[in-house]
């Protein structure tokens, strides 16, 4: 019987097949983005492959498209509001759940995580109903609030996971050395939670910027966010303009992930 | 030793949780309750405002008996189930590749997995329009160029296009929990299996795969829930007549402005989605009876 | 521990604490004199860490009092108690350098800059870590981390030092070295210290007094030699060192061993006679005064001694015998008799119920 790394041919073929599937899967993940990226530099006014020439005119056209620029600004606002609300609501919630001493503290994450288990479409419809029941028309604010309720769970979960891995003796040590609660939080707990808060904040910002399933029902008619605008454009526009929008997003997101990978590490994210 | 946790420093702490709980209750809890009540009501609408509201099961019963509903939900369900299986088929090998890779390659795999998640689903779906498009699509041009076909194939606006697009878009959501669970596994377990005479493939089947069950369960729940309820990919790759539960809600709410019907569809979607996710969770627990977590 | 009439510096009286239905501490009383090193010794779950945490102020007792230098310690907020703690995990702040860790308490207290600098330098000097001031905890070895933890506590000149299993994270060799170094350090500063440990060797090696805890109570307290030589219970006898058990019956205040030797007993009925391994010596079968006969199971070296395991006829468990390495040593398989060196150093305790044992 063969042992260790030396294995039979059949075995190698089997494992090779599994690994080949993995490579194929990775290709399926990556290649379409590369194709779109290539198309975005095409000089022709229609989408075709292989692209001909090289131009940045479609990227320039983005900046000239007032409708798109406004949608991007709307989405940036939404992302910002969602992120700030999530930090303000989520960090205290995680602290209450992870360090609190009250009877029902275990229920806090459960309740906060519930909206995240609801399909975005359903939550969007529900918020639209509730808004109109109290006279709130769909708006950028309503959209941001709804997305916040949805994505708050991610920040709470990220921060709570970090908090639970934090040695409680650190806070005791700070107290023992003379620090009051506020001081210990400022000097010890907060700096050690910061990577998790930042990772969570990044994700909530992106959801606020990018959400479509909730936003489609709750956004303001006069100021649609980028995804809602895109949904229409993708179905009508035939020039590489859309590819340029995609190109911007693909480059930005890859850059962001690469930065996170090089600095705080991707563990915070993949956990 | 079981002693009281440091808890103390962040005070009793209940007050810290109140804002988030109140927010979630007002922005999600009450609206969802309202939605469920709308599903058994007749809601009169005028210009985006509710003008009348009366309880009736009429819309609900009509929907439950409507073949269109059956078709839409059946399609959503089979589509989501197929996407989940496909994501698993590609996702597990990716996670396994990650597990067996050196450090730098692991980072590359993680970046390739996470970066798409930060890109809009619409943008990622658009890539498939470029690839599968009928007239100038990459695939059709390639096939025509190679002389394999004479006429462009109808690739986009098909069920297959939706299936492929959805699988690609949800693949990272399957891969991430798998990677998280599998990289926590003790690598010596695989060594032990090899040492006991198992082949690599056998080790993969008998040790690595069963231990990845929590990740499979988590990934499958997420992928199912998302692909069961998305309208972006069906809308863009399925063509105008492609109807699933989510596009039906979209239709009813945005175009038909029929809020009662929309509420019924959304309520059924919520119930069926949660029920399936619950079933997946239960199946996962059964498959990992050996774990303490499953018993807890 | 304080003798009668001497005022205790740390005075824990009647302290109880329950977590839910579990009584972690049950009417615990402990007195520590100024400058003394006392160890709370016990198995995990005996309440020793809870007692330490109550003294430190991390946990409030359900009842009882804790006085430090004559003042009510329970009335002081946790961050105002003049008590230093060295945590089991050391709890060094990972995002602060050695200097910032050690100086943290000084900064929090608003000690003037100049004095901060001086005391920090002294503290680093004390633990020989001056050269490591700018390192982060993760860049230090276990022993160095422990010295940082010690310096961080001592720099505030506390009246009392608490150490929670401070050596448990170190490997065996380093542990022995650190034990004597920490004891020397504490004695040189002259601070009163309370250790918590489950390791009897550590307790013996470092303390002026040991308090053996069990089930939330202090079962016996006293100097190490006293606890070892005159254990108050079978539990203490077993916990503070190896002991051989001989089941027997006590009648009329005595237990009669096989060779007609007799040991005084305060209890009657089913008893267990306990003999320390070094209180036994092997001798030829049939020798005068030999209490037991048996067969050598195996012999293993243990430092300058040899440890012999003997399967004694009539004993449920093999006996352990420690002899100096010099001289004739019985070989495995050989029949031997065992003689008690000092009959007065045998202890007799009621036998634990068979079912419960």
Q: What is the pLDDT of residues C317-356, one digit of tens each?
A: 899 999 888 777 788 888 999 988 888 888 888 876 543 3
Mean pLDDT across chain C: 89
Alpha-carbon distance C129 to nearest alpha carbon in chain B (angstroms): 29
**By the CB < 8 Å criterion, does A173 face chain C?**
yes
pLDDT confidence tier of residue B292, bands split at 50, 70 and 90 = low
C139 Cα to chain B: minimum distance (Å): 22
Interval B57-64 mean pLDDT: 87
Q: Is the pLDDT of residue A176 over 70?
A: yes
* Residue in B1, B6, B8 closest to C49 by CB: B1
Best of B103, B130, B206 to disrupt the A interface (most A CBs within 10 Å) is B130
> A133 to chain B: which residues are within 8 Å by CB?
34, 50
- Which pLDDT band holds residue A7 (cuts at 50, 70, 90)? low
- pLDDT higher than threshold 90 for residue A74: yes
Question: How sure is the predictor about B4, in pLDDT bands with cuts at 50, 70 and 90?
Answer: very low
- Subunits that touch chain C (at least 3 Cβ pairs < 8 angstroms)? A, B
Q: Helix, strand, coil shares of chain C as percentages rounded to 5?
A: 30, 35, 40
The pLDDT confidence band at residue B293, using thresholds 50, 70 and 90, is low
User: Quick one: closest CA in B to C51, which residue?
Assistant: B3
Residues of chain C contacting A191 with CB distance shorter than 8 Å: 95
pLDDT value of position A267: 59
Chain A residue numbers with beta carbons less than 8 Å from the beta carbon of C94 are 192
C352 or A224, which is more confident? A224
Minimal C-alpha gap between A126 and chain C (Å): 42
B242 vs A: CB within 8 A: no
- Whether residue A103 lies within 8 A of chain C, CB to CB, comes out as no
Q: Which of B:172-211 have CB within 8 Å of A?
A: 172, 175-176, 179-180, 194-195, 197, 199-202, 204
Q: Cβ contacts (< 8 Å) between A189 and chain B: which residues?
A: 10
A16-29 pLDDT, tens digit per residue, is: 899 999 999 999 99
Which residue in chain A has the smallest CA separation from B23? A149
Structure tokens at C95: 């995002």
The count of CB pairs under 8 A between chains B and C is 23
Over 70: is that where the pLDDT of B11 sits?
no
pLDDT over threshold 70, residue B30: yes
A60: distance to nearest CA of chain B, Å? 18
| Residues 37-66 in C contacting B (C-alpha not used; CB under 8 Å) | 44-45, 49-50, 53, 58-59
Instruction: Note whether B228 contacts A: Cβ–Cβ < 8 A.
Output: yes
Query: Please, is C61 exposed, middle or buried when counting C-beta atoms within 10 Å of its C-beta (0-12, 13-18, 19+)?
Result: buried
Which residue of chain C has the CA closest to B7? C58
Overall average pLDDT of the B258-287 stretch? 92
Higher pLDDT, A252 or A187: A187
- What is the least distance, in Å, from the CA of C19 to any CA of chain B? 7
What does pTM read for this prediction? 0.83
Contact indicator for A75, A227 with CB cutoff of 8 Å: yes
**Over 90: is that where the pLDDT of A192 sits?**
yes
Q: How far is A171 from chain C (nearest CA, A)?
A: 8
ipTM metric: 0.88
A253: which chain B residues are within 8 Å (Cβ-Cβ)?
A: 115-119
Kindly state whether B96 is in contact with chain A, defined as any CB-CB distance less than 8 angstroms.
Answer: yes
Per-residue pLDDT band for B35 (boundaries 50, 70, 90) equals: very high
* DSSP reduced 3-state for A145: helix
Interface check A45 vs B, CB under 8 A: no
pLDDT digits (tens, 9 = 90+) for C124-168: 999 999 999 999 999 999 999 999 999 999 999 999 999 999 998
C214's tokens = 């069990």
What is the reported pLDDT for B147? 84
Angle between helices A190-210 and A66-99 (to 10 degrees): 140
Residue B9 pLDDT exceeds 50: no
In this predicted model, what pLDDT tens digit does every residue of C18-46 receive, in sequence order? 998 888 999 999 999 999 999 999 998 89
* Mean pLDDT, rounded, for A124-150: 94
Task: Inform me whether the C-beta atom of residue A250 falls under 8 Å from chain B C-beta atoms.
Answer: yes
Among A147-151, A226-230, B58-62, C213-217, name the most confident range. A147-151
Domains and CATH numbers, chain B: 60-295 (1.10.3720.10)
Residue B205 Cα to chain centre, angstroms: 25
Extract the tokens encoding B288: 């990992």
**Mean pLDDT lowest among B67-76, B118-127, C114-123, C258-267:** C258-267
User: Is residue A4's pLDDT more than 50?
Assistant: no
Q: Which of residues 57-76 of A touch B (CB under 8 A)?
A: none
Distance from CA of C88 to the nearest CA of B (A): 12
CB of A192 within 8 Å of a chain C CB? The answer is yes
Q: Which structure tokens are listed for B170?
A: 């949800």
Closest of C47, C62, C53, C77 to residue C15, by C-alpha: C62
Residue % of chain A over a pLDDT of 70: 94
Q: What is the mean pLDDT of residues B2-22?
A: 65
Residues B133-162: what's their mean pLDDT?
Answer: 85
Confidence of residue A181 (pLDDT cuts 50, 70, 90): confident
Q: What is the pLDDT of residue A2?
A: 40
Identify the weakest region by mean pLDDT among A168-172, A230-234, B131-135, C232-236: B131-135
Is the CB of residue A188 less than 8 Å away from at least one CB of chain C? yes
Section C74-87 average pLDDT = 93
Q: H-type helices in chain A, by residue range?
A: 9-39, 57-64, 66-99, 107-117, 120-133, 140-165, 168-176, 181-184, 190-210, 215-218, 226-236, 241-262, 267-270
Q: Which residues of C touch B10 (CB under 8 A)?
A: none
- Contact of C93 with chain B, judged by CB distance below 8 Å, is answered with no
pLDDT value for A266: 63
Q: Give the residue among C316, C309, C312 at the shortest CA–CA distance from C272.
A: C316
**Does residue B79 sit at the A interface (CB-CB below 8 Å)?**
no
User: From the CA atom positions of chain B, what is the Rg in Å?
Assistant: 24
Per-residue confidence at C357, pLDDT binned at 50, 70, 90? Answer: very low
CA separation for the pair B131, B137 (Å, rounded): 5
Q: Is the CB of A233 inside 8 Å of chain C's CB atoms?
A: no
Name every chain C residue with its beta carbon within 8 A of the beta carbon of A187: 93, 104, 108
Residue C15 has pLDDT above 60, yes or no: yes
- Tell me the nearest-neighbour CA distance from A262 into chain B, angstroms: 9
pLDDT at residue A269 tops 70: no
3-class SS of residue C270: strand
CA quadruple C91, C97, C98, C102: dihedral sign: negative
For B205, nearest residue in chain A (alpha carbons)? A15
DSSP assignment of C271-303: EEEEE-GGGEEEE-TT-TT--EEEEEEEEEEET
The helix/strand/coil state of A56 is coil
pLDDT average, residue stretch A151-163 = 94
Which residues does C299 contact at the CB level (< 8 Å), separation at least 6? Answer: C306, C307, C308, C309, C329, C330, C331, C332
């Amino acid at each position: 019987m063969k042992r260790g790394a030396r294995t039979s041919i059949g075995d190698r073929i089997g494992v090779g097949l599994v690994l080949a599937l993995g490579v194929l899967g990775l290709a399926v993940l990556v290649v379409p983005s590369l194709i779109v990226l290539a198309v975005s530099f095409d000089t022709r006014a229609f989408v075709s492959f292989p692209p001909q020439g090289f131009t940045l005119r479609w990227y320039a056209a983005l900046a000239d498209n007032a409708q798109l620029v406004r949608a991007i600004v709307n989405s940036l606002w939404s992302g910002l509001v969602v992120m700030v609300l999530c930090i303000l609501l989520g960090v205290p919630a995680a602290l209450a759940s992870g360090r609190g001493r009250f009877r029902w503290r275990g229920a806090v994450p459960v309740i906060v995580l519930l909206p995240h288990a609801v399909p975005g479409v359903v939550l969007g419809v529900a918020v639209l109903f509730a808004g109109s029941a109290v006279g709130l028309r769909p708006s950028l604010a309503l959209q941001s609030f709804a997305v916040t309720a949805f994505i708050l769970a991610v920040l709470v979960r990220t921060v709570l996971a970090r908090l639970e891995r934090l040695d409680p003796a650190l806070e005791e040590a700070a107290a023992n050395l003379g620090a009051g609660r506020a001081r210990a939080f400022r000097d010890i707990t907060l700096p050690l939670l910061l990577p998790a808060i930042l990772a969570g904040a990044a994700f909530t910002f992106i959801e606020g910027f990018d959400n479509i399933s909730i936003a489609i029902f709750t956004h303001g008619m006069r100021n649609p966010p980028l995804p809602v605008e895109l949904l229409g454009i993708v179905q009508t526009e035939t020039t590489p303009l859309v590819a340029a929008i995609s190109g911007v997003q693909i480059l930005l997101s890859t850059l962001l992930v690469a930065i996170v990978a090089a600095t705080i590490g991707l563990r915070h994210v993949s956990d | 030793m079981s002693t009281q946790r440091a808890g103390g420093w962040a005070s009793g702490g209940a007050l810290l949780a109140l804002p988030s709980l109140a927010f979630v209750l007002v922005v999600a809890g009450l609206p969802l309750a309202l939605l469920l009540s709308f599903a058994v009501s007749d809601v009169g609408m005028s210009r985006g405002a509710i003008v009348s509201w009366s309880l009736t099961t009429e819309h609900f019963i009509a929907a439950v008996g409507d073949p269109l509903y059956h078709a839409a939900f059946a399609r959503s369900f089979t589509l989501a189930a197929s996407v989940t299986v496909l994501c698993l088929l590609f996702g597990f090998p990716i996670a396994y590749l990650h597990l067996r890779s050196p450090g730098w390659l692991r980072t590359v795999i993680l970046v390739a997995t996470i970066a798409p998640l930060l890109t809009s689903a619409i943008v990622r779906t658009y890539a498939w329009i470029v690839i599968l498009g009928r007239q100038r699509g990459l695939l059709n041009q390639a096939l025509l160029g190679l002389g394999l076909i004479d006429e462009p194939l109808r690739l986009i606006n098909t069920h297959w296009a939706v299936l492929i697009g959805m699988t690609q878009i949800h693949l990272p959501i399957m891969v991430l929990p798998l990677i998280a669970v599998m990289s926590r596994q003790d690598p010596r377990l695989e060594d032990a299996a090899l040492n006991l005479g198992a082949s690599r493939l056998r080790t993969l089947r008998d040790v690595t795969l069963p231990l990845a069950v929590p990740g499979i369960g988590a990934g499958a729940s997420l992928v199912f829930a998302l692909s069961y309820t998305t309208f972006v990919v069906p809308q863009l790759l399925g063509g105008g007549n492609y109807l699933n539960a989510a596009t039906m809600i979209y239709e009813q709410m945005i175009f038909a402005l029929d809020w009662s019907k929309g509420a019924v569809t959304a309520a059924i979607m919520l119930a069926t989605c949660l029920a399936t996710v619950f079933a997946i969770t239960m199946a996962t627990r059964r498959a990992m009876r050996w774990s303490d977590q499953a018993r807890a | 521990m304080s003798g009668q009439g001497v005022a205790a510096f740390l005075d824990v009286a009647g302290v109880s604490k329950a977590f839910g239905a579990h009584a972690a501490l049950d009417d615990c009383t402990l007195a520590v004199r100024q400058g003394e090193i006392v160890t709370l010794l016990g198995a995990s779950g005996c309440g020793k860490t809870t007692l330490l945490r109550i003294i430190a102020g991390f946990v409030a007792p359900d009842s009882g009092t804790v006085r430090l230098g004559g003042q009510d310690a329970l009335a002081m907020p946790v961050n105002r108690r003049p008590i230093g703690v060295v945590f089991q995990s050391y709890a060094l702040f990972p995002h602060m350098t050695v200097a910032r860790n050690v100086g943290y308490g000084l900064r929090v207290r608003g000690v003037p800059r100049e004095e901060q600098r001086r005391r920090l330098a002294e503290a680093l000097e004390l633990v020989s870590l001056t050269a490591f001031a700018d390192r982060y905890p993760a860049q230090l070895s276990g022993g160095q981390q422990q010295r940082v933890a010690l310096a961080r506590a001592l720099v505030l000149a506390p009246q009392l030092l608490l150490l929670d299993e401070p050596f448990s994270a170190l490997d065996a060799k380093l542990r022995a070295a650190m034990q004597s170094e920490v004891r020397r350090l504490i004695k040189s500063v002259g601070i009163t210290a309370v250790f918590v440990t489950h390791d009897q060797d550590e307790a013996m090696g470092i303390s002026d007094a040991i308090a053996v805890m069990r089930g939330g109570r202090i079962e016996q307290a006293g100097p190490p030699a006293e606890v070892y030589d005159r254990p108050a219970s079978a539990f203490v006898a077993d916990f503070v060192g190896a002991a051989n058990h001989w089941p027997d019956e006590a009648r009329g205040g005595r237990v009669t061993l096989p060779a007609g030797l007799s040991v005084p007993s305060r209890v009657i009925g089913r008893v267990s006679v306990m003999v320390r391994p070094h209180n036994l010596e092997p001798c030829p079968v049939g020798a005068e005064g030999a209490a037991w006969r048996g067969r050598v199971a195996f012999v293993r070296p243990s430092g300058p001694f040899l440890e012999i395991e003997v399967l004694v006829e009539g004993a449920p468990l093999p006996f352990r015998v420690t002899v100096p390495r010099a001289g004739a040593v019985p070989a495995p398989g050989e029949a031997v008799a065992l003689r008690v060196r000092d009959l007065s150093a045998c202890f007799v305790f009621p036998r634990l119920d068979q079912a419960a044992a």
